[in-house]
Amino acid sequence: MVTVRGIVSVIGVAFTAYLAARGLLFTGAVHEPWLTYLALTLYLVVTWTVIFWGYRPGAAATGAVPRATLPLWLALLSLVAAVVVPNAILFAVPVESRSLPFATWFIGGIGALMTVVMVRRRPVTAWIGVGLMSVSAVLWLGPLAALSLGLPGSIVWVAAAQLLMYALDRAARDTEQLASLQQAASAWQASQVGRQRERRVQVQRALQAAGPVLGRTIETGGNLRPEERVDARLAEGRLRDELRGRRLLDDAVRAELEAARRRGSAVTMFDEGGLEDLDDAALAIVRAELADTLRDAASTRLIIRTSPHAQIAITVVGRSGDGESLSDEDSVDLWREIRRP
């Protein structure tokens, strides 16, 4: 599978091979050609190792991320090449041949190597390597000759690579921040949609529960028959249940709440949180037990609350008699704690 990194790596290999090939075109005297060949081999081995280190052709297909940072030992090896290659080549040729292209190719070659090192996240090593190569070129060729033979170009390459990596890192951070903001915006939008849907459901249930009674109240000007007053009280209770304790309700619980109110009980529900972590199956168990508790309740007043306790899901308190508060033990005739499944 063709990837951007694969294409860039091939271009890097072709370019460094071209620079090294210039060192084989001897256009002047060479005292130690074997030393030149050895320096060329060292350069190519180190440069191509730096280019391909950590590269896996199947990484794009498998989702694996190749290693970006050059290992320390390979960074040090590139510094060795930056010292050995220039000095070996210039030592192998006589003075009159040192300014010829086959002897000065290392200026561009080491610059290309240090550009790759910079891209592989070793900026300090890259600048040290450029500095070592520059010192060698100045000592062997002289400052003016080194500058005229391409030393500024190698320095510009490394500087441009550093600026490019900085820009890419900045773009990556901005992209990550934008993705985080988009995710937060999507989550907020989803929550708003959910709340709107929940409000529509509550309004529909409220209209179903109180709509007929309200219509009848308007028609009669508030003069309701006794059975209609009972229906109005039941409708009010259903509406309060939907608003205050919707998470506690299912068809069975709603039926038992209405039955308790028809028996004359005043029922109050409070969903104060604590059940959010229960799934549908656990909620079904809790609601079934709540329905059983309401079915057998005969108290004058029933108070149903969710519990913040780690083991208790719902507390049901029933009061009868003339007690004025829950502290009046004589008025409490029902106390039921429904445990979390």
pLDDT tens, N- to C-terminus, the chain (341 residues): 556 667 777 887 887 877 778 777 776 667 788 888 898 889 888 988 888 887 665 554 444 334 467 888 988 999 999 999 999 888 888 887 777 877 888 888 898 899 989 988 889 999 999 999 999 889 988 889 888 888 898 899 899 988 988 888 888 888 888 888 888 888 888 888 887 887 777 677 666 666 676 676 777 666 767 776 777 777 777 778 777 777 788 888 888 888 888 888 888 888 887 777 888 888 888 889 888 888 888 888 888 888 877 888 888 888 886 545 444 555 788 888 888 88
Q: Please count the other Cβ atoms lying within 10 Å of the Cβ belonging to residue 316.
A: 21
Pairing type for strands 301-306 and 266-270 reads parallel
Amino acid at 264: G
Say what the pTM is.
0.55
Q: Which 3 state secondary structure label does DSSP give 75?
A: helix
User: What is the pLDDT at residue 191?
Assistant: 81
Coil, strand or helix at 278 = coil
Q: In this structure, are residues 26 and 101 in contact, taking their beta carbons and an 8 Å threshold?
A: no
CA distance 199 to 90: 83
Helix or strand or coil: residue 220?
helix
Nearest to 285, CA basis, from 250, 310, 256, 254: 250
Tokens of 36: 């030149």
pLDDT of residue 135: 92
**Contact 338/313 with Cβ under 8 angstroms?**
yes
The backbone region for 274, taken as left when phi is positive above 0, alpha when psi lies in -120 to 50, beta otherwise, is: left
- What is the C-alpha to C-alpha distance for residues 230 and 228, in angstroms, rounded to an integer? 5
Where does the chain show beta strands of DSSP type E? 266-270, 301-306, 312-319, 332-339
**What's the confidence (pLDDT) of residue 193?**
84
Lookup: tokens for 142:
């002289």
Structure-block tokens of residue 213: 């009674």
Closest by CA position to 116, among listed 129, 131, 126, 130 = 126
pLDDT of residue 271: 82
Alpha-helical regions (H) of 245-302: 251-262, 280-296
Q: 43 near 81, Cβ under 8 Å?
A: yes
Judge contact between 278 and 286, C-beta under 8 A: yes
CA quadruple 206, 209, 212, 217: dihedral positive or negative? negative
Phi-psi category of 338—alpha, beta or left, where left has phi over 0 and alpha has psi -120 to 50?
beta
